Structures are given as C-alpha cells and as structure tokens.
Structure 1
C-alpha cells in the first residue's frame, strides 16, 4: 500500500489518497486512478508502481515527459519521500504506508471558501481544456469516478450559494432604504465598516441558514458586491492574473500565465455588474447608461477598463480589465521574461536617448503599451515630456512630465476632446518629447507632423502585424484625418518622420516577444524602404509547449549608429554582425 499526494506548483492541494493496489496511473483519461487536466498531460501519462524494494515511477511514452527532481526520466526508483515527481504543472510525492484511510478529494474553486476552505487554496479555479490548461484536479482511490475541478456550471451547491448571496444582498438594500441612510456622507472606511456590521446582523437573523456554509466568507462576498467590485476583487488581488473578462453576470473569465480560465463564482445579477461599472467610472467623471452604453476608464492602480451594457451587449453587461502591474516593469525584467535580449535593449535605449522617432507595432494584447512604458523611461530627466492617451496607462517617472487624457462627450453629446485635439494642443506646450499611447485615427497625421517639425525622439504605438503592415496602417490612419493627401505624399511623410519600428508579437502559448526591430531607410519610387536590424527566429516548442527560439542580428548597421560613430560617440558595432545570436 502506498500514498500519493498531488499539488500544483503554487502549493494548492489537488489529491491526497491511499492506493490499495500495487500500482496507479495518472493522466487525462477518466479511467486513470488520478485524473489530471491540460494539453501537456497525456491520456495515460505515467504509472506509479509498488515493488519489493520500493516505489517506482514509469513514463508511459508521454509527449511532454515526466520529471523527477527536475530531470526527465523514462523510469525511476525507488522513489524517496523527498523526491518530487512532476507532470506538467503538477507536483507528486509518494510514500509507502501499511494503513488505509478514506480518500479525501479536494475541490479547488473560488466558491470553495463558503464551505470553510482556506482562501489561499482557492486562488486558482476552473479547468483549462483544449486551449485552457487546468490548474487543479482531484481523484479518488480504486476505480471510482474521479472528482474533477468544477466550473461554475458543475459546482454542486452553486445555486444555493448564489441564492443566499442574493438573499443577503436584497436584505441589505432593504435595510438601507428603510433606514434612509445617506451613504454619500460616509467616507470609504466608515462605509465599509457600517456595511459589514449590517451584513453580520442580517446573517445572524436567518434561522434557516445552512450550517455547512461559511458565514464569514459569504459576508465578505456580499460586502464586495455591495460596495466593491464583487467577485472581481479576488481576481484583482492575484498578481498572476493579467486580464479579467466579464461576458455576463454568470460568465467570468481571466487570463493567467497566458491561458484563459473560467472563474467558478459569478455576480448575483445584471444590476450588480452595472453597479460595479458605475463604481469604476464615477470617480473619473464618466457615466454609463442607455444613451451612452460604452465607456473606457481605469482603476486606482492604473488598470485599464472597458465596459459595455445593453442594448449593445446582448448577453448582459460586459467588463474587460487589462490589469496594471503593481511592480514597476523594467527592461531587465523583460529580458528575464525572454521578451527581448540585452543587446536589443541597449540598442533601443540608444535610439531613445539619441532622439530617434519610434513606433511600436503589434496586435491586441501583444504588450505594446508595456514596451512603450519601458522605453519611455529611457528619456533623460532633463527633457520635458507630454503624454497623450485615451485612458491614462503610462507610468513615467521623469520630473518634467505632463499627462493628457482624452474626454468623452457629456449627456448632451458635447464636450468631447479627442486625442487628435490633444496632440495639436501639446505642440503649444513646449514639449521635447511627445508620447502618444496609441494612434488609431487622424491623430497619426498630427503625430507625423510633430516628428517632422523638431520633436525628435517621439514615441507611439500602432495596431499592425508586421513592420511592413505598420507602414500601410499609418497610411490608412492619415487618410482618416479627412485631409485629401496623395498616397505618395503620405509615404514621404512617414519615411521622413519614422526612424525605427519595433514589432511586438503575442504567440499562441501566451508569451510575448519583440520579433523584429527595423529601420526606415527612406523611400524609393513608391515604396518605403525597411531594413531589419534584429529579429526573433523561432525553432519549435519546448517540453512545456512554449515557443522556442533565439534573437539574432541581420548584419544591417543602422544609419544613426554610423552617424554616432562619425561624431565620435561610443558605439559597439559588433552587435550588428550577421548571424550573431543575442
């Protein structure tokens, strides 16, 4: 007899069982004794066997392999109690035991706290199937049906939980109305304390409250929904989560480690979702209602928020939150993530310092704004910087900084201030540098004119899939300005204004990398000439399914580096040797 304990890398317990037979198999197939999920887990991934001299583990020719103490194995044994077996993101320990005890399956989900489970245990939820990898599963001994991590549809008591949360929330609103309490007169701390005490009184008054529900956790969830952001509070506190998506009151997804996961708990109703949206946008002086059913905003920490409500959103109110990193993201950290190499960072820093005009190109969610933030902080402290954004996200630390933010129209449809007007206005504010969060319309023309009229070293981002597409995209955006300019004139403006295009790409595995750094070399005939300086060359996938590859130089030496050398400035041209891996 032996015992098998399965946890995730984050320490979340998945399964703790005693095996009565002399072997057990692990994999994603339901016939396995321990069922694991995720595309990196094979149908029958590995087998643990008890022999006369101890426990052995065998890899069953899985695609991603099995590791023991960080090394890939085909078979290994005997396995000691301190040895760690790893399958995908699961860590497994075994030990021989003569005693039998009942199997204790663990359901890891955000709603689990209502049954008395610890909050730390419930950070990761839901299954990841196909493109989404599971963070936890559990199984039972012998050949009984395994207990899998439930989604919001599969939680056994989800309806009961929602019912009590809604019932408590309704009582809270009724109490506030009857007492005619003016919440506007209370400060944030006073309001939270008063609301929490009221919820405790309401829960104490229920004679039919189920004994197996955790009142303290239910109280916390009702409090968050009443004066906070409801189930989004836990997701916002998890630093590993980069994006949160509310499709409707009962569909909440989040992106974690590049994978989409469905949250197990939900909002009580559509009204609770709309209330959360209003709490986000009200301090910003913005509104959302049927006459203005879309809004952009930001949280206190700088996270970007977009919300859409009916009649535009057919399934119910929708929220998308792009979280802002709490720690300052530096170039060194991006190198650590594998987003780019040290020589590429040195080159881009030289570009910014010596006032080259940069355009960061990439698709949605590829990390353009993050890279723009990092590069913007290379601007010397003695220069005056004006930033222009739709919703303020950039976090610059230079002393001489002015941040401008666009404004939507008021209820009468008046008072809107577009990015283009802000770009025009910032030219009158004596800027040394202009940083535009994103060009998505006619402001591209004004940005090009600024780059051509003495505001060298300006930076911006554009949605496009390659440096060549970036040129075409800029042409389209300039035409959106309403100026009937010939295409040839637009291309000449682009070739004269833009010096460097940095291409950022998000791969299917969730990783983000700078895949190309190109220089604009002027125009020949009707074609804007591009010269690629650095590129990312992909050469397959690693055992974890992540894109594998390397950065290399193409052999092209940028014009401005040669100019720097002629002026006697220090320049390491060896970085640009052809085929040089970075």
Structure 2
C-alpha cells in the first residue's frame, strides 16, 4: 500500500472518531431537565466530600499520635518495667510529641491518653463502662458495636475498638490469668474479672460479627436483703419468710430466665446461713460473694487442648459430699448433676441452695426431670418425681419484667407427690395490674393467704413467723 493511501485511511479514522464525539456531546446536551437533575443528585457535593476528608484526616492523626505514644510507652517500660510509674508520664509524653510535630495540634490529647491508660491498666475501651456503677451488663458485638444495660434497658454506646485484634487482646487479658484459653480450636470461654463479674467470650468462626464479649457485672459490695426490698424485688414479709426457710435448713431452688437476677438472689439467700456452718459452693465460673468465713469455693474446669482433663459440675457435686459440708450451694444446675444434687438433698444434706433456668416453678420441675434423665440412669418418671418432691422444699421464681425491673414473682412450696403429680402451692405471688404512662409495670407482691405445710418444721427449729406474714393487708 502506498504512503498516500495510508494517510487517507488515517484521516478517515480520525474524522469518524471526531464525528462520534460530536454526536455523543449533542445527545448529552439534549437530555431532559429531569435526567440532568438526577445526575446532579448522584454527584456528591464538595462540602460533603470536604467533611469526609476532614473526618478521615482527624482519625488518621488520632491513630498516628496514639501509635507514636504507644511506642514511647513501650520504650519506657523496657527501662522501668513498672506500669504504675509510667502512667503519670503519659500525658507529658503526648504534649512533647505534639510540640515536635505541629500536624498533631488539634487532636484530642486527653482522649488518646485515656484510651492508652485503659489499655494498660484496664480492659481497653470498655473500661469506663465497667467502672460505671449504673451499668449492670456490657455486650461487645464485634469491634464497632458495644451495648450496655442501664436500669434494665439495653443502650447502644459510642464505644468502639480499633479492630477485631483489639477485642481479642482484651479477651486474652481476661482469660490468661485464670488459666483459660480461647482460640479456633476452643472458640468459647467462661471466665470472670478480678471483681467477680462473669464473662463469656466467643470468637470467629463461631461469632460472625467478630469477637463477642458479654460481661455480667457484680457490685463491689454484694447486695443484701435490704437492697432487694428497696429495689422492689421482694417485700419485707417475703424477706422474713425466706430468712426463716434458710435458717430452718429447707432445700431451696431459685429459678428464672437469663438476666432475671437469680445469682444475686442466691447470693442474698446464702447470707442468711449462720456463720458457724461449713459452706461448699460449686460453679462454672465463681461468682458468688459469700460473707461467711468458712466457705470453700469450687470451680469446674474445661478440657485441655487434647480434649482431656475436664472437671464437670457433676464431678464437683460428688466430691463436695466428701468434704463434710453443712450446706452445698450450686451456682446453676443445667445437666446430669441434677441427679447427684437431688440425692444429696435426700441423704441428709439439708439447707442446700441452687439455681436453674425456667419460666415458672412448674416448668422448673419438668426441667429437673429432663436433667435427671440426662444422667443416663434408666429411672422411671415416678421415681424421679419422688426424688424431686422429697428433696426440694421451696422454689423461688424470679423474672425480669418489660420495664427492666427484676422481681420475685412467686415463692412456691413443693408439698409432695399425689399419684404421679408433684403438688405445688404458691405462698407469695406478684399480681400485675397493667402499665403506667411511662411504661412502668403496675403491680404488687402479695401473700396468697396459704400457710405452708412445713410451718411446723419452722417452729420445731425455734423459728416463729407471725400469722400476718401470710395474709394480704387488705384482708385485715
């Protein structure tokens, strides 16, 4: 092909390209006003982009300053090896870094220093929530979502972790001193904080949102019966009755749903036990805070990395009977240990206390039957019911109501077995009458007017309860 013909072809291609561009531009100019408006809406405004850029730059500066400060703290720790002596210097370190680099001016120095102190001395970003007396529970749902419970209601906080590794660091800080482990082979763990607060952690691949922590806080000063009366959990008459039941060595079972306050009530009941008795407590993670001197606390143990070495609640219940206990207190019955507990109650270990999950006293009886069958012993239902009827004297039903308040809704006597049915009789119950304008539950805790069958047993123990305790005030 000659040079001239090649040039002609190039010119044709350029002409066609130019023509296409002109057609496209014309068609875009001839668009309807509606389409132009929609295009304008899609394009973000310069102000929005500027705000995002400012926020990003502030976050980056925050992270950079925190990273530099963290490095300097690590260097100081190598020299001093004492965290308590470093903490007062952290703010001074931050001021020096900001003086050296002007780009850090304007960052929230106090917030960065507080975060680093929480990481060093506490449990990271959630440390302020754990120190807040109004917060009763903390729930970390991954690094960017943290809830807390205030006055029985769940509230979303502005607390955030840096990333999933930051959450994992806090979990390891909690479980490491207890000899527990958490990793992909064992992605769930129950533990406790130094103040006795209960911790449950679960990590990926089981937790899809990221590492998840649930902390049930406990008061530094354990609640006493007067506190529960003040909270409206129970009445003075109910407190007198429960005090008498514990001192008369009746076997008592606290039932209720998750977060209803079973452990708190069990702790308060255990304070009625005379100080001259030997108490053995058995729990998955030690939570009970008993005020007596003679207390032996036992805690179950999960299996090791090879799947061996586990010590269950059932093993501990069996062992506790060889420890000469006056009282056996079981934190929660949830499996085959129910059989061993019932046998202990039926063989001279009176005055035992325990908790379990259920919606009502009748449901608690059914659950106990199921848990006994989990022991793998082929017992007829009637034999199991005879064991339950002979072992348990009182069931205390606790509930968390819609307004977040926790109340003992029933105190029920286990009267015995009639035919194949265990007979239950309510001694006290909560009568709900409705809700007020603020959504608060309106109701009252009243006696049913029935005196328990074991009243003579109370009198034989030298305990006298006035008759008006079992009668509603309106009836007088």
When the two structures are superposed, what TM-score results if normalisation uses the length of structure 2?
0.83
Where do residues 341-380 of structure 1 align in structure 2 (5 Å cutoff)? 341-380=235-274
* 1:219 matches 2:219: no
Report the counterpart of residue 343 of structure 2 in structure 1.
449
Report the alpha carbon displacement of residue 205 of structure 1 after superposing the two structures with TM. 4.3
Among residues 241, 245, 259, which one is paired with 2:135 in the alignment? 241
Among residues 92, 103, 106, which one is paired with 1:208 in the alignment? 103
Among residues 58, 63, 75, which one is paired with 1:166 in the alignment? 63
Note if contact 2:396-2:412 (Cα within 8 Å) is conserved in structure 1.
yes
Instruction: Give deviations 1:87-119, integer Å, cap 9, x for gaps.
Output: xxxxxxxxxxxxxxxxxxxxxxxxxxxxxxxxx
Name the Cα RMSD after superposition. 2.6
When the two structures are superposed, what TM-score results if normalisation uses the length of structure 1?
0.69
Among residues 259, 274, 289, which one is paired with 2:153 in the alignment? 259
The structure having more radius of gyration, on CA atoms, is 2
Report the alpha carbon displacement of residue 221 of structure 1 after superposing the two structures with TM. 1.2
Q: Partner of 2:110: helix, strand, or coil?
A: helix
Report the counterpart of residue 189 of structure 1 in structure 2.
84
Segment of structure 1 superposing worse, 544-553 or 425-434: 544-553
Looking at structure 1, the residues matched to 284 and 342 of structure 2 have their Cα atoms a distance apart, in angstroms, of 18
Looking at structure 2, the residues matched to 252 and 411 of structure 1 have their Cα atoms a distance apart, in angstroms, of 31
Instruction: Give deviations 1:164-189, integer Å, cap 9, x for gaps.
Output: 44334443565578x59659x93442
Report the alpha carbon displacement of residue 385 of structure 1 after superposing the two structures with TM. 0.2
Looking at structure 2, the residues matched to 433 and 157 of structure 1 have their Cα atoms a distance apart, in angstroms, of 64
Where do residues 390-409 of structure 1 align in structure 2 (5 Å cutoff)? 390-409=284-303
Report the alpha carbon displacement of residue 214 of structure 1 after superposing the two structures with TM. 2.5
Looking at structure 1, the residues matched to 85 and 441 of structure 2 have their Cα atoms a distance apart, in angstroms, of 50
Choose between structure 1 and 2: higher helix proportion: 2
Tell me: CA distance 1:447–1:165, structure 2 relative to 1, closer, same or farther (3 Å): farther
* 1:559 matches 2:453: yes
Tell me: CA distance 1:221–1:347, structure 2 relative to 1, closer, same or farther (3 Å): same
Tell me: CA distance 1:560–1:175, structure 2 relative to 1, closer, same or farther (3 Å): same
Tell me: CA distance 1:207–1:541, structure 2 relative to 1, closer, same or farther (3 Å): same
Tell me: CA distance 1:156–1:296, structure 2 relative to 1, closer, same or farther (3 Å): farther
Report the alpha carbon displacement of residue 289 of structure 1 after superposing the two structures with TM. 1.4
Tell me: CA distance 1:156–1:442, structure 2 relative to 1, closer, same or farther (3 Å): farther
Aligned length: 426
Q: Determine which structure has greater relative contact order: mean sequence separation of CA pairs < 8 Å that are 6+ residues apart, divided by chain length.
A: 2
Q: Partner of 1:414: helix, strand, or coil?
A: coil
Where do residues 383-422 of structure 1 align in structure 2 (5 Å cutoff)? 383-422=277-316
Choose between structure 1 and 2: higher strand proportion: 1
* 1:480 matches 2:374: yes
Q: Which runs of 5+ in 2 are unaligned?
A: 1-50
Looking at structure 1, the residues matched to 53 and 271 of structure 2 have their Cα atoms a distance apart, in angstroms, of 50
Looking at structure 2, the residues matched to 201 and 310 of structure 1 have their Cα atoms a distance apart, in angstroms, of 40
Tell me: CA distance 1:330–1:158, structure 2 relative to 1, closer, same or farther (3 Å): farther
